[in-house]
């Protein structure tokens, strides 16, 4: 018996990475009868039947699970956003940070197109702009700024992939496929172009598949256009904003939701510039969504 990781399922067959190669696998009869689902990232036990084919005999319990994209046992999520063209959707980024943290997955923020951003900010008619990545780095998130074209930051990011299952997530047009190509040093994924009219990217990834990359396994996932917040209580939301932690217990009311209550230390901190105003506004928007969801269930 050999242990491996499921890379993808296609046409009734499953492809498992084990012992440094890919096996084409069928399911043992009892799995077909139970109609058990198998996802990329599942850790499975296979019984070889030839040099290239095997049968799946069992599966280990999942450590975690993402429903969109559908993938299991993820160690880290690379949340990929462009620094420019298109302008980063920070509301979506903050949603993704909550989603992956809720699922017990480490978030790593990657801002691409650093070369384009530098060209814009260094032009004679532009004003100096602080990196948006600095906001998240100060909070404590792991952040990379990279250029798929020049290779800046790629080697450092590649080191974070070794012996881990990672997913690339983010909106279309930010360069996820190009980033994978730069990280994998050889394997090429189809890349798309930004629509000049809408400045949004065309989807170039149609399905979820784990691929060997930089000593680990990486899934280039379909782009996100929206994402619902996970089911939670309204008082739990502030816990997904790490920068709130040192202030949230200093409010006048122990039940403070940091919205309209008086003497709220978090509101005071954002007014003083200690907390990002944009992040606080997103918190308030998300709070209304969580409250509305609570009423539905």
Binding-site positions for Zn(2+) read: 251, 256, 258, 264
Computed on alpha carbons and rounded to an integer, the radius of gyration of the chain in Å comes to 22
Q: Binding-site residues, please? A: 112-115, 170-178, 251, 256, 258, 264
- Paired with 169 in beta bridges are 79
Q: Which residues are annotated as a binding site for GTP?
A: 112-115, 170-178
Q: Could you tell me how many residues make up the chain?
A: 297
End-to-end CA distance of the chain: 45
- Preceding omega of 69 cis (within 30 degrees of 0): yes
Contacts of residue 105, defined as CB under 8 A and 6 or more positions apart, other chains included, come to 64, 66, 74, 75, 76, 77
Q: In 83-164, at which residue ranges do the beta strands (DSSP E only) sit?
A: 106-112, 142-145
185-197 in b/e form (b: 16+ CB < 10 A) is: eeeebebbebeee
Query: Which residues touch 228 (CB under 8 Å, ≥6 apart)?
Result: none
Nearest to 53 by CA among 2, 101, 100: 2
Residues with Cβ within 8 Å of 168's Cβ and at least 6 positions away in sequence, in order, are 78, 80, 176, 179, 180, 218, 219, 220, 221
**Residue pair 221/229 in contact by the 8 Å Cβ criterion:** no
């Amino acid at each position: 018996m050999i242990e491996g990781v499921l890379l993808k399922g296609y046409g009734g067959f499953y492809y498992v990475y084990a012992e440094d190669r890919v096996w084409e696998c069928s399911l043992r009869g009892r799995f077909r009868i139970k109609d058990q689902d198998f996802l990329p990232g599942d850790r499975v036990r296979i019984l070889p039947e030839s040099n290239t084919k095997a049968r799946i005999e069992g599966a280990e319990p999942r450590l975690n699970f993402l429903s969109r994209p559908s993938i299991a046992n993820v160690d880290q999520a690379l949340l990929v956003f462009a620094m420019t063209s298109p302008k980063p959707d920070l509301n979506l980024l903050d949603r993704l940070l909550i989603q992956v943290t809720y699922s017990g997955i480490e978030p790593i923020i990657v801002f691409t197109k650093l070369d384009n951003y530098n060209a814009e900010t260094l032009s004679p008619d532009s004003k100096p702009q602080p990196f948006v990545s600095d906001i998240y780095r100060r909070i404590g998130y792991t952040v990379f700024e990279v250029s798929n074209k020049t290779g800046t930051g790629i080697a450092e990011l590649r080191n974070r992939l070794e012996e881990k299952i990672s997913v690339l997530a983010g909106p279309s047009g930010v360069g996820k496929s190009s980033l994978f190509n730069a990280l994998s040093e050889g394997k090429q994924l189809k890349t798309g172009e930004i629509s000049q009219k809408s400045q949004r990217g065309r989807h170039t990834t149609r399905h979820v598949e784990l691929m060997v990359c930089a000593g680990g396994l990486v899934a280039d996932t379909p782009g996100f256009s929206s994402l619902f917040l996970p089911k939670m209580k309204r008082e739990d939301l502030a816990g997904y904003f790490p920068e709130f932690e040192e202030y949230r217990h200093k409010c006048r009311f122990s039940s403070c939701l940091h919205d309209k209550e008086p003497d709220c230390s978090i509101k005071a901190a954002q007014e003083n510039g200690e907390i990002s105003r944009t992040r606080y506004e997103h918190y308030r928007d998300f709070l209304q969504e969580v409250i509305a969801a609570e009423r539905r269930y």
